Structure 1
């Protein structure tokens, strides 16, 4: 048998962190050598980091990447490694994968199809490499082939699909297959989204089957640059069979997903197919002796937590927890501060910070966790998760005369159960001071009858300075507590609950968030890690508590039911449906649940609030990306700050609704 031991290598990188990125890459290579790996695939742009943005334009970025590449070359004796980096040729920048073998650069394969939607803006910085084109890149005294290349190591042919290359209909793998390639390497930077791993698995498995190859897929890991989260998905398939897949959402700097592939088996798959041979890519042959390998039993399995029927709940918890940990670590901050109101949003964020500690310690061990946060001196003597929670998580409850005992208890009971640092202060005096100042200036008293919105907002805004002060005192991150449902309709106070350096749940709708919190209390991660301290909060109705208590303010009465809001938002701005189309869809989805009048009123309200609140979405703190419903205008969904407000479209909806009601009345009286 012709067996080769290969691996996908996952690394947690940071844009332009040259020494740290190099250390992770070299550590991964050394680990591969210790496991007798012959071919190692590392992720896309792993030398520079994927999220360098306009720094890809800087000549120094490409030049430094080549310097780091030469350092990496020196540790590749006895192994074939692909590493990703940008290269500059004729004053154009290309996204490339460099193949190294036995301390020699063999050439650079370049990405042909660039991602240019949502989070991705690759056509801003890179040129797509044209089919069948080759050139050379000079590094020092030597020149190396670049472009549409196939590498041949000891008679084994290796080709590349780089990330987006595999996601298009006419993917390069077909051309590689027609040229008899045995192995396809896919170095990738594929951002996390709910359930996206299943799509990747199909791309890898179907690619290995359709092209009759062994397919090695390696993704980045962690919160690399602020918004995108990479889950570290890695897998190896051959001839339509998924051999192995790796751990996702790890807290490690790097790790391997190894497998043994059978070159005879993939060649048998190809020889039984009768498609015509096509030779278009330049072949780069070099000598390499693959060591003899014995067959091993390999079985592809889901991770234990993926097989329990709660994948979205688990992915949300694990992705955001890892992102919060990485953001803390890479920003060299000393903890998190959350203005804990006792409601769902701030409780969820507090819980996610606690999960970051629990999951990190579970994987790294207590000492490993403290070592990764070595810049935080106050945690170095901590001896438990509870002590770490006390040192890293600060909650502040800021009540007014409109705050209830229920929300105070909800906040304090959660903080106590998680052992966070908890402060309970009353800001009513501050609110009254601001009111008195303005009342004196304008010559009249403020009242709920005439100044409802202003009196609500001042309470939310007065809470921000205290939270910022605590964050500054502790050199900590202040976490904004707005969710996606609030962002859609502007149901948030600018410089109040939107205050913060990162907004962890701004990509999550309130309907799912409330479900997730109940799941976290009763079921928990992997059926074991539960937060019982959420009980009091889970039994409350969502309320801003900004009006007098006797008003019994409830968020869903101020806005609309959250399940309906989420459905309208999805139809209107993910799927780009008109108000009339939204009404037809909502009538179908909520038949027997909400009246037609309720649907019409809610859709009208949603579109009007959306249009007048784009300026708020432009100012929100950066959010973590979790799916294609993201509303962040800087990375996903753009909308004009000033617009016509859908006046014509809403008029069309009302005309349709009224006409439909007239037809129904006429049918009931026999016309």
Structure 2
């Protein structure tokens, strides 16, 4: 029996001292728990999201310097330390396999993700399977490449993240050479329900390769856009032995289990392999001596998966953790929200409040305060209510077009969250601008002739005041726009798009409204009880509206655009699935039978027209979190030209089809 461990780390790109400290703490925790073989995440030394800093020679040098410091901390165990490494004038994504303060060699990543949010081919080269080389580090020669390590009789192999997700993976070659343990250091961003796929991958690999398979991931909001859930798992012989609690607010988590190496070897001998591979280099070193009792942890979302609210719970926990890390890593003092009483700003405010409650559940208020000890006044806060009022400020900015309903909605939610609630009237500011410009152009502005400009000026006038409020407290101003609005540009640049971070920009409006109802009626389970936000009852009773036109015009978002579920479906078909306008319309005819054919036609035309016209807005959005299998952020998933042909020919084909020509 061998005790193995997987440590998830909350790292920060280029934070040399901090990253080294967290790795050292994880290694020491593993040692104290008797772990003999420890898996740490991909690129743990530098951080995964260094972007073009990976080109810097200084970054490569500091990575190796840090590696040497960490090697001295590895007494009595085997571990893997991820870093970029220059080999024969090319940079590779590697892990150094280290045993008892000795570097054994460097495994190089063979398969680089270059799709969706991934861009690894920009910085790294792909190592060829079956090949090895020699690399000099501080005058010492080490093997590098496609390696298997024989550590005094225990054979340890490595698949680095993407290597395990492709058909031509290293696993079969490692199995053919008798790997007892396969480590998978990963940096796998959160998306909904992805942990289930990972669990299947890990258990299937341990069964297929008759080995102990140890998988670990990064944790938290590492570099701004990507959230890592800290998923860590250990499986042996097809049995999942241990899995981590996800979305922890700690610097690291440790998951351990006992792996029956001899049992796996018996199973290996029974399997007739066609994977014989004599090109894999085997590196030998020492044998770990001791064995210990297992420590199996559970999965924090198991009950929610059974209860049918997994996505709602994951969204709450992922974004709350993302906000917490963004707050502390940017050294900001809290959050300011322009709380209109509508769904988007209400969701942002509720998530800030959940952040505090989920942090208390995860690490306790004392550790939470310690992590935010740089914030003036935080140490004097003794309760969740104290912290909420210090960290969350909301501002309701009404005009004559605002309703009592949205005012009541904003106030009720702020009170429920324990946030500071401020209210101002901005009519005088709006009038000052419209009168000033009307005077200069020689005519008064009116709703009959100037509808869009009069709507936009109200949204833009709100931005300077809420920015001022945020700056006064060194707060992050939260952008409240959602993904549906981004798709069609239903937002005012330098108005409701103002902010430092956009927590809900990766979520469509239709589902966000469902989530708010869930949070009011069901809520997160925290410390054995459900945290519901009953203050959401007011916003959940309202139809989404910008409240920018006069009240008698009864403005609603869906009247301006189209039903949000239809908008979301067109976005999926046209943007995610790359269907033409005509193909989208045909598919909608089949699936959206509750709407008139004429309406579907006009909505498809409207979507593609607005999509192509508003790419410049998506280019200017505040950073948002990647939460789904795709998003609309041109800097992380969906690139589209700012200037284009606006689907002119494609929409002509749609028109001809609709007209029966």
Query: If the length of structure 2 is used for normalisation, what is the TM-score?
Result: 0.98
**1:380 alignment partner, SS class:** helix
Given that 2:60 and 2:86 are in contact with CA atoms closer than 8 Å, whether structure 1 keeps it comes out as: yes
Deviation at 1:324, TM superposition (A): 0.3
Residue 588 of structure 2: aligned partner = 586
Superposition pairs of residues 360-371 of structure 1, within 5 angstroms: 360-371=359-370
Deviation at 1:90, TM superposition (A): 2.4
Superposition pairs of residues 550-565 of structure 1, within 5 angstroms: 550-565=552-567
Q: Deviations over 1:237-281 (max 9, x none)?
A: 112111111111110000111011011122122111112432221
**1:377 alignment partner, SS class:** coil
Given that 2:34 and 2:292 are in contact with CA atoms closer than 8 Å, whether structure 1 keeps it comes out as: no
Q: Deviations over 1:475-506 (max 9, x none)?
A: 11001010000000000000000001111111
Residue 666 of structure 1: aligned partner = none
Residue 102 and residue 297 in structure 1: after superposition, are their counterparts in 2 closer, same or farther (change >3 A)?
closer
Residue 528 and residue 168 in structure 1: after superposition, are their counterparts in 2 closer, same or farther (change >3 A)?
same
Residue 353 of structure 2: aligned partner = 354
Match of 1:127 among 125, 128, 141: 125
Q: Does 1:577 align with 2:579?
A: yes
Residue 193 and residue 203 in structure 1: after superposition, are their counterparts in 2 closer, same or farther (change >3 A)?
same
Q: Deviations over 1:344-377 (max 9, x none)?
A: 0000000001011110112211111000111102
Q: Does 1:154 align with 2:152?
A: yes
Match of 1:176 among 168, 174, 177: 174
**2:531 alignment partner, SS class:** coil
Moved more, 498-507 or 579-588: 579-588
Residues in 2 aligned to 1:164 and 1:199: alpha-carbon distance in whole angstroms:
13
Residues in 1 aligned to 2:449 and 2:52: alpha-carbon distance in whole angstroms:
49
Residue 58 of structure 2: aligned partner = 60
Residue 371 and residue 152 in structure 1: after superposition, are their counterparts in 2 closer, same or farther (change >3 A)?
same
Residue 663 of structure 1: aligned partner = none
Match of 2:88 among 65, 86, 90: 90
Residues in 1 aligned to 2:647 and 2:267: alpha-carbon distance in whole angstroms:
56
Residue 447 of structure 1: aligned partner = 446
Given that 2:6 and 2:215 are in contact with CA atoms closer than 8 Å, whether structure 1 keeps it comes out as: yes
Match of 1:567 among 551, 569, 575: 569
Given that 2:34 and 2:291 are in contact with CA atoms closer than 8 Å, whether structure 1 keeps it comes out as: no
Residue 263 of structure 1: aligned partner = 261
Deviation at 1:136, TM superposition (A): 2.0
Residue 598 of structure 2: aligned partner = 597
Given that 1:305 and 1:525 are in contact with CA atoms closer than 8 Å, whether structure 2 keeps it comes out as: no
**1:499 alignment partner, SS class:** coil
Residues in 2 aligned to 1:549 and 1:295: alpha-carbon distance in whole angstroms:
65
Residue 486 and residue 514 in structure 1: after superposition, are their counterparts in 2 closer, same or farther (change >3 A)?
same
Aligned length: 657
Query: If the length of structure 1 is used for normalisation, what is the TM-score?
Result: 0.96
Residues in 2 aligned to 1:438 and 1:300: alpha-carbon distance in whole angstroms:
59
Q: Deviations over 1:511-560 (max 9, x none)?
A: 00000000000010137011111111111110000000111101100000
Residue 564 and residue 143 in structure 1: after superposition, are their counterparts in 2 closer, same or farther (change >3 A)?
same
Q: Deviations over 1:540-599 (max 9, x none)?
A: 1100000001111011000000000000100100001111111121122211x1111111
Deviation at 1:290, TM superposition (A): 3.0
Moved more, 487-496 or 306-315: 306-315
Deviation at 1:307, TM superposition (A): 3.0
Deviation at 1:420, TM superposition (A): 0.6
Moved more, 86-95 or 270-279: 270-279
Q: Deviations over 1:633-663 (max 9, x none)?
A: 1110011111111122122122222329xxx
Given that 1:154 and 1:290 are in contact with CA atoms closer than 8 Å, whether structure 2 keeps it comes out as: no
Residue 288 of structure 1: aligned partner = 287
**1:36 alignment partner, SS class:** coil
Residue 659 of structure 1: aligned partner = 660
Residues in 2 aligned to 1:246 and 1:267: alpha-carbon distance in whole angstroms:
26
Q: Does 1:528 align with 2:530?
A: yes
Superposition pairs of residues 426-505 of structure 1, within 5 angstroms: 426-505=425-504
Given that 2:26 and 2:252 are in contact with CA atoms closer than 8 Å, whether structure 1 keeps it comes out as: yes
Superposition pairs of residues 101-120 of structure 1, within 5 angstroms: 101-120=99-118
Q: Deviations over 1:590-623 (max 9, x none)?
A: 11x1111111111111111111111101111111
Moved more, 579-588 or 503-512: 579-588
**1:641 alignment partner, SS class:** coil
Residue 541 of structure 1: aligned partner = 543
Residue 509 of structure 2: aligned partner = 510
Given that 2:470 and 2:476 are in contact with CA atoms closer than 8 Å, whether structure 1 keeps it comes out as: yes
Residue 645 of structure 1: aligned partner = 646
Q: Does 1:230 align with 2:214?
A: no
**1:528 alignment partner, SS class:** strand
Residue 624 of structure 2: aligned partner = 623
Moved more, 238-247 or 469-478: 238-247
Residues in 2 aligned to 1:305 and 1:6: alpha-carbon distance in whole angstroms:
28
Residues in 2 aligned to 1:528 and 1:126: alpha-carbon distance in whole angstroms:
46
Q: Does 1:219 align with 2:221?
A: no
Residue 668 of structure 1: aligned partner = none
Given that 1:33 and 1:79 are in contact with CA atoms closer than 8 Å, whether structure 2 keeps it comes out as: yes
Deviation at 1:302, TM superposition (A): 5.8
Residues in 2 aligned to 1:421 and 1:235: alpha-carbon distance in whole angstroms:
41
Gaps of 5+ in 1: 661-671
